[in-house]
Amino acid sequence: MLADVPIDYGWSGPIDRTYDGLPLIGQYPSCKDICYGIGWSGNGVGPSRLGGKILAGLALEQDNRWTQNRFVNRVGRKFPPEPLRFLFGSLVRQAIIRKDSAEISDKPVASADRILANLAPAGTEVKGKGRDYNA
């Protein structure tokens, strides 16, 4: 229906991603005046509302349910360093595409592809063959 409607603006760029797809929210231990919220990964309004309440509580030095929960100062799992990140990321990405293509075609999935696809961070999206694939 919208094939003839022009697109005025587009955006693409780096994303703020954590390994598990959950944001990291907290304060720097050596400087409580610095609060941070990173890794939202496009998860929407719910996590950003929660994060806003947590950050507001931290900035105001409040001791309440927003500042005393497991999201505050949690340690995120780290991605491997470069160039391993790129190499292994490429292997996992291709395995996800092969696994999803096999499943869509009702064909058996290779064991190696299943194992590699399970290494993908939660909520990983892979674009390939004209489709969006979610791991």
Report the pLDDT averaged over residues 100-112.
96
| Segment of 7-11, 46-50, 54-58, 85-89 carrying the highest mean pLDDT | 54-58
| Segment of 41-45, 58-62, 75-79 carrying the highest mean pLDDT | 58-62
Task: Extract the tokens encoding 106.
Answer: 């009702």
Task: Extract the tokens encoding 111.
Answer: 């064991």
- CA nearest neighbour of 37 among 28, 29, 63: 28
Q: Is the pTM of this model over 0.85?
A: no
* Helix (H), strand (E) at residue 37: strand 31-38
3-state secondary structure of 102: helix
pLDDT at 41: 72
Locate the domains of the chain by residue range: 8-78, 84-134
Q: Please state, for a pLDDT cut of 70, what percent of the chain lies above it.
A: 83
Q: Please state, for a pLDDT cut of 90, what percent of the chain lies above it.
A: 49
pLDDT at 83: 93
Rg (CA), the chain: 19
pLDDT at 15: 67
Considering only residues 3 and 122, tell me which one the structure prediction assigns the higher pLDDT.
Answer: 3
